[in-house]
Amino acid sequence: MNTVKNFLLDELEDAVVIKRELEDGKQNPISNYIACVMVERDLITLGESFTPSGGGQPVLVDASNIVDLLVGLTFEGKAYFFGNGTVNGSKARPEEMMESQAYGSYTEPRPTGHVKELIEFTYKNSFLNTPFLNALRRRTKKFDVFVFTDTTVQQIRYRRNQPIFKGIGSALTGNALEEVTGGFQISYNDEKGELEPWVGINEDDLDAERIAYTFGAYGAPTGLTAVAGAEGRYTMVTGTGGHFTRTVEQAAGSPVYSIFKDGNKAIPNAEPVTVDSNTGKVTVGNTLPVGRYTYTVVAENATGVRGKYTFTIHVNPA
């Protein structure tokens, strides 16, 4: 049996709402979403306390710190960051959920306050990220989603707003003068209307270039000789071999290291140069032939944060 509680409004939710006007010199946000972050559900919420990994002090999450906190979670491998310069999002007015019919003297059904929304994102790198988009299509992970204009942020919560990812994929137009583009849509609902925008975002903080590993100094080499004044250049006498270590500066997360020749080529078996995938230690075998070689070490985590550096080895005859 229903109780009277089921028929009462939440008075705290429906208290007096203030209407505000922009101050002179202030502008409304630009009319597109310029960034999007997908993060593990219930991990971080606007208006609530959040404790960073590693035993940091709890902080109250708001527009002033949300981007930095999400960047940190991205480096930890807990969030996917679509930064400014990689996505463009649009949204129409919400679809109102209406009463089932008109009642009493009303001539048409009234809105219930419940709305359905759809954001459409064009994603610059969609085609090359087909595996990720397929996983999004299959709902392999449950995300809260943060969407950003140049000055605001809104949070789409998995449990409350029930986001659905659809309209996923890329289109090839048949025009050789165009790049492949694609994207995804996020459909969601809220029983109390449109999601509130939190004001206070700094557009520069959303730059996609923030999401990249940087490397610390080269460790002291063993068996190799560093060329003075030329970072990342080594000499070696054939038949000796050696090693050095260089790791990413960001402490959070667990990047996986890999190594390539001349930028992006597999290293031939005749060149015994490897990198430890966990520690970043580069080892050069003593059978590396006489010659000059260039290699690139790449570090990447589970959510696509990546960084790289290049070094050269000149192997001299004994």
Q: Dump pLDDT digits (tens) for 277-310.
A: 999 999 999 999 999 999 999 999 999 999 999 9
Regarding whether 258 and 143 lie in a shared domain, the answer is no
167 in a structural domain: yes
5 in a structural domain: no
Least confident of 34-43, 53-62, 180-189: 53-62
What H or E segment, with its residue span, contains residue 43? none
Pick the last residue of a domain from 210, 240, 266.
210
9 in a structural domain: no
Facing residues of 270 across strands? Answer: none
Regarding whether 234 and 161 lie in a shared domain, the answer is no
User: Which pair of structure tokens corresponds to residue 245?
Assistant: 């270590």
pLDDT score for 105:
87
pLDDT score for 132:
94
253 in a structural domain: yes
Regarding whether 141 and 82 lie in a shared domain, the answer is yes
Regarding whether 197 and 253 lie in a shared domain, the answer is no
51 in a structural domain: yes
Q: Summarize pLDDT for 81-99 with one digit per residue, the tens.
A: 999 999 999 999 999 998 8
- Are the C-beta atoms of residues 60 and 49 closer than 8 Å to each other? yes
Regarding whether 237 and 158 lie in a shared domain, the answer is no
Regarding whether 199 and 264 lie in a shared domain, the answer is no
**Which of 133, 132, 124, 164 shows the shortest CA–CA distance to 34?**
124
Which pLDDT band holds residue 318 (cuts at 50, 70, 90)? confident
Pick the last residue of a domain from 210, 242, 266.
210
Compute the average pLDDT of residues 109-123: 94
Q: The domain spanning residue 252 has which CATH number? A: 2.60.40.10
Regarding whether 250 and 274 lie in a shared domain, the answer is yes
Pick the last residue of a domain from 149, 180, 210.
210
7 in a structural domain: no
Domain count, the chain: 2
Q: Summarize pLDDT for 160-186 with one digit per residue, the tens.
A: 999 999 999 999 999 999 999 999 999
Compute the average pLDDT of residues 36-63: 93
Widest distance between CA atoms in the chain: 100
Tell me how far apart the terminal alpha carbons of the chain are, to the nearest angstrom: 92
Regarding whether 118 and 248 lie in a shared domain, the answer is no
User: Which pair of structure tokens corresponds to residue 100?
Assistant: 């089932």
pLDDT score for 33:
98
Given a cut of 60, whether residue 1 has pLDDT beyond it is: no
Q: Summarize pLDDT for 5-31 with one digit per residue, the tens.
A: 665 656 555 666 777 787 777 889 999
Regarding whether 177 and 231 lie in a shared domain, the answer is no
pLDDT score for 2:
62
Regarding whether 129 and 52 lie in a shared domain, the answer is yes
| Cα-based distances in Å from 254 to 78, 113, 242 | 11, 44, 25
Regarding whether 277 and 144 lie in a shared domain, the answer is no
pLDDT score for 140:
85
pTM: 0.89
114 in a structural domain: yes
**Better-predicted residue by pLDDT, 4 or 196:** 196
User: Which pair of structure tokens corresponds to residue 47?
Assistant: 């208006």
Regarding whether 201 and 303 lie in a shared domain, the answer is no
Per the structure, the complete domain to which residue 292 belongs is given by 225-316
**Which of 27, 135, 153, 177 shows the shortest CA–CA distance to 84?**
153
66 in a structural domain: yes
Compute the average pLDDT of residues 197-221: 96
Given a cut of 80, whether residue 220 has pLDDT beyond it is: yes
Q: What is the mean pLDDT of the chain?
A: 92
User: DSSP readout, 163-226?
Assistant: -EEEEEEEE--S-TTS--EEEEEEEEEETTSSPPPEE---GGGGBGGGSB--B-PPPPPBSSEE
**Distance of alpha carbon 33 from alpha carbon 30, whole angstroms:** 8
